[in-house]
Structure 1
Amino acid sequence: MSQQYPQQPYPPQQPPPKKTSVGKTVGLGCAGIIGLLLVIGVIGAVASSSGGKDTGASSVKPAATTSKNEQPATEPSKTAKSEPKTEEPKKKTVTFKVWGTAPAGALGGLDITYGSDSDNRKGAFKNGTFTATLPLDDEALFYTVTAQLQGSGDINCSVTVDGHTEKGHASGGYNLCNAQANAGLLGGWG
C-alpha cells in the first residue's frame, strides 16, 4: 500500500507587476521637445518678419469722461497752430559696392551682378567704382553682389544690410569677388 500524504495548500500567487512604458514616455518627450523648439522658432521668425509694425492695438485711447459740471472739449479753431507733423521712418535700404582696378579684358569690362534671392540685376563699373541701393525686402533670404574680373585687376566688393556689412576680394585672372549677407533664422542679417 502506498502511503498518501495530505495535500498541502499552495500559497496564493501574486499577479505579475505591470510593465511601465518608459521607452514610450521618453521617446514622446523627445519628440515633444523638438516640436516645441520648432514652434518657438516659427513664432520667432514670424514675429521678427513683422518688422515692428504697429498693429494699432496700442494706439487705442480711452474715451474722455466729463463730470456733470464740465463741458466737453471742443475742437480747436482752424486758426490755432496744429501739432508738428511727425516724420515717417526712413525706409531701410541695401547698399552694394565694388571698387578697385579692373581693366577691360577680351570679354569686355568687369561683369557685376547684384540683388536678392528674388531680384537679380546687372551693374556697370565706371571710374573704378560701382554703387547701387535697393529697398530692404523683409521677405528676402539674402542679398549678394558678385563681380568677375576679365583677365586682370584687383577689386573689392561689399553688401550692407541693416547696418551689417559683408565683404569680398578678387585679384587677377577671371576671379570672382563675392559678398553675401544672409537673413538670420530669427531676424537680423549676418
Structure 2
Amino acid sequence: MHLKFSRDIEKLLKQLSDKPLTVSDILAETSERGFSLVIGLLVLPFLFPMPPGFTAILGAGSLLLGLQMALGRRTPWLPKKIARFRFPHKFVLLLLSNLKRGTGWIEKIAKPRWKKLADHPYAWRFNGICIAWLTILLMLPIPFTNPIPTLAILLFVIATMESDGLLICFSYILTGLISLLFILAGDFLVQLINRIPSLMQ
C-alpha cells in the first residue's frame, strides 16, 4: 500500500532535488495538508546526521506548527526565517534515498479506520499538543535520543493524513511512554552530573 504521506513527501523531495524550494513554497502547495506534511518534512532529517544549525530551525518550525494545530488552526503559518529555509541539495538526496527506511515500517500498519475519531476537531488539537511536546523532547540536548520522538511525530503525521484513529490512539500511548523515558533519562543525567565532583576527588 502506498500511503499519502510517502507519496506526497517523496514528490516534495523530488521537487526539492530538481529546484530549491522554501518551506513557504511547500506550505503554499500543500494547503491544509501542509500541517502534517511539512511537520513530517521538518522532523524527518532528525533520523539522520544533520549539518550544523539545522536543529534549531527545523525544530522551531515543527514546534510552531504543532502549537498552531493545538489552537485549532487549519492554515499553517511560519515566521520568515523558517519559511525561507531551503534544504541543501545533497541533504535532500540523502532524505530521498532513505525515505523508505524511515517510514516504510509504518506503511505496513497504517490505513483509514476509526475515522470519526481521526477527523474530530479535538483529536486535531490534541495531536498538535502531542507533536509540540515531542518536538520539545526532540530538541533537548540528550545524546542519541533524536530518533525516538522523531518516529512518534512521524506516526502522528501519517495517522492524521491517513485518518487512522487507531494509530492516533497508539501514538498517544507512545507519547506517554516516551515522556516517561525522557524523565528517567534526565534524572539519570542529573544524578551522573552531581556525582562528577565526588569522582574527581
Task: Select the structure that is richer in strand.
Answer: 1
TM superposition score category, shorter chain reference:
under 0.3
Task: Select the structure that is richer in helix.
Answer: 2
Q: Which structure would you say has the larger Rg?
A: 1
Calculate the TM-score normalised by the size of structure 2.
0.20
